[in-house]
């Protein structure tokens, strides 16, 4: 098969916000305890955090991490995680039916995030808490000193403020599974009041208001519109959450699910712009896709778990080759919508539906989905170019006219390079892929790497990381055109040196 894409350096979508390659850590399962934090581990630092895990988080170049939840958030008292560790109260976490020890809290996480080079995207509890707790935590984290909460932070060992910029106003508040779930009117009012006082404490912060818990929720669309009626002028981002699965074991349909993500994003953009018009506002609301990933492998095992353990194995999906391909398609979709999606958080980072896996007392390793995410975070920076593509398509169970190639082109002016990410969805045919780079003078291929040639169910383990990028010799430049041969079922990254 053949596909032809045309781009021009004068026609752009947006500059990519690096926070689109963010992630998420919730106090659930083994994400924190025996994930990032394991005192006594052979690699543990003086504070109990695993250096081997830190190394892989740094390798991902994760710019922002949402914390501490997730469903856990809606029953969490942030004050439980400050002060002397030995005095912190263990609590029942009703969201995941576990016991939270509070060994890791606000100070420990902020210090860890700083060490791995990430900003903290702090989430506040609007399930069991409210406006007073919201203003207090901002004062504790961001106010320099001279007040009760800022002085308490200093007494607890942090003389300088944490200067947390991005804050989430609760989590999935329309979900009946959520502690303190609310109607759209109820949530819209409390979110608006919390947002108002949080920005009174620190006008420099940015706020993310909860959209509905997913596009399949009966509340979807009406929830967003009602919540934004109350909060539009107070907040900076609206959140989206979506997870994807191959429970039907239908590969063509599975690899097309990025089409659903694109539809979801565009629907939410339309709602935001409707409220903008209704309010006669000059403000353009941006999106935070702060939970997205593949999640389904662990469902059966999790249904048999006994409650009230400490850091039990929950949502420990073991990802395979087909998952890496879909994750690549989802990443490309986020990039193509970078004009409105400014923050995105792969949920989650370690052990819980995560690119990084650890063994308690043992090694750490990279899951199959680690690699497309890592390559995008390293090289997916610059300006996304609008494109026109002529490509064969297919129909499947849920989607029609799905292009066999999912692709995007980014111009990195600082490095004088064009970066192409592409997935060939075809199960059995190579794609002869041409990209006409109008307005550029291509020089040579810097790199063409691919993940291809594996059984679709092949996984990575602590002893076998075979599903990883390999050097390809299947791309060349001819005039102003890039020509590449994309193997069946392949993730590709092609970097081209250019003059513009």
Question: Could you give the residue numbers annotated as active site?
Answer: 172, 291
Give the span between the Cα atoms of 65 and 335, in whole angstroms. Answer: 18
Which pair of structure tokens corresponds to residue 490?
A: 């392949």
CB atoms within 10 A of CB 347: 26
Give the span between the Cα atoms of 342 and 25, in whole angstroms. Answer: 19
Residue 355 C-beta-side C-alpha neighbours within 13 Å = 29
Pairing label, strands 166-169, 475-478 = unpaired
Give the span between the Cα atoms of 208 and 237, in whole angstroms. Answer: 5
Q: Give the end-to-end CA distance of the chain in Å, rounded to a whole number.
A: 30
Three-class DSSP category at 35: coil
Three-class DSSP category at 263: helix
Contact 387, 6 (CB under 8 A): yes
Of 69, 66, 106, 68, nearest to 85 by C-alpha is 106
371 preceded by cis ω (within 30°)?
A: no
Residue 193 C-beta-side C-alpha neighbours within 13 Å = 11
Contact 190, 135 (CB under 8 A): no
Residue 233 C-beta-side C-alpha neighbours within 13 Å = 9
Which pair of structure tokens corresponds to residue 368?
A: 């199959």
Of 326, 318, 182, nearest to 246 by C-alpha is 326
Q: Phi and psi of 114, rounded to 5°?
A: -60, -40
What's 17's DSSP letter?
Answer: P
Q: Phi and psi of 330, rounded to 5°?
A: -65, -40
Contact 356, 318 (CB under 8 A): no
Contact 95, 75 (CB under 8 A): yes
Dmax (CA) for the chain in angstroms is: 68
**Burial zone of 284 (CB within 10 Å; 0-12 exposed, 13-18 middle, 19+ buried):** exposed
Of 480, 327, 341, nearest to 13 by C-alpha is 341
Which pair of structure tokens corresponds to residue 114?
A: 């700083």
Three-class DSSP category at 461: strand
Give the span between the Cα atoms of 205 and 313, in whole angstroms. Answer: 35
């Amino acid at each position: 098969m053949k596909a032809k894409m045309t781009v021009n350096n004068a026609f752009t979508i947006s500059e990519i916000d690096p926070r689109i390659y963010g992630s998420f850590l919730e106090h659930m399962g083994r994400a924190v305890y025996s994930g990032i934090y394991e005192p006594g581990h052979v690699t543990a630092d003086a504070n109990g955090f695993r250096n081997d895990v830190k190394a892989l988080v740094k390798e991902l170049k994760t710019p922002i991490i949402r914390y501490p939840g997730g469903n856990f958030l809606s029953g969490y008292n942030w004050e439980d995680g400050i002060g002397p560790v030995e005095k912190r109260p263990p609590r029942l976490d009703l969201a995941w039916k576990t016991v939270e020890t509070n060994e890791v809290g606000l100070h420990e996480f902020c210090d860890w995030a700083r060490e791995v080079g990430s900003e903290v995207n702090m989430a506040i509890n609007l399930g069991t808490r409210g406006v007073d707790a919201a203003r207090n935590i901002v004062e504790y984290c961001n106010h320099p000193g001279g007040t009760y909460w800022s002085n308490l932070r200093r007494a607890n060992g942090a003389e300088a403020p944490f200067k947390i910029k991005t804050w989430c106003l609760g989590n999935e508040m329309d979900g009946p599974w959520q502690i303190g779930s609310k109607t759209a009117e109820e949530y819209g009012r409390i979110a608006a009041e919390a947002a108002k006082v949080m920005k009174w404490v620190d006008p420099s912060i940015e706020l993310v208001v909860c959209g509905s818990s997913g596009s399949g929720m009966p509340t979807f669309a009406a929830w967003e519109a009602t919540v934004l009626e109350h909060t539009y002028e107070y907040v900076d981002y609206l959140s989206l959450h979506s997870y994807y699965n191959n429970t039907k074991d239908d590969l063509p349909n599975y690899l097309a699910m990025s089409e659903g993500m694109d539809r979801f994003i565009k629907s939410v953009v339309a709602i935001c712009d409707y409220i903008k018009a209704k309010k006669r506002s000059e403000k353009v609301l941006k999106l935070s896709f702060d939970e997205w990933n593949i999640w389904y492998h662990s469902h059966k095992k999790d249904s048999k778990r006994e409650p009230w353990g400490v850091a039990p194995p929950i949502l420990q999906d073991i990802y395979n080759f087909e998952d890496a391909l879909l994750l690549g398609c989802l990443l490309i979709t986020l990039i193509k919508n970078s004009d409105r999606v400014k923050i995105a958080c792969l949920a989650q980072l370690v052990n819980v539906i995560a690119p990084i896996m650890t063994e308690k007392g043992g090694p750490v390793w990279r899951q199959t989905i680690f690699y497309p995410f890592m390559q995008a975070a390293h090289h997916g920076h610059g300006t996304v170019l609008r494109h026109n593509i002529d490509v064969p398509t297919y129909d499947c169970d849920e989607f029609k006219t799905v292009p066999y190639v999912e692709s995007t082109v980014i111009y990195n002016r600082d490095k004088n390079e064009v970066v192409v990410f592409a997935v060939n969805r075809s199960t059995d045919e190579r794609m002869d892929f041409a990209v006409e780079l109008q307005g550029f003078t291509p020089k040579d291929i810097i790199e063409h790497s691919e993940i291809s040639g594996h059984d679709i169910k092949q996984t990575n383990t602590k002893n076998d990381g075979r599903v990883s990028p390999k050097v390809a010799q299947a791309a060349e430049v001819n005039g102003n055109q890039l020509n590449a041969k994309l193997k069946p079922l392949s993730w590709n990254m092609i970097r081209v040196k250019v003059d513009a």
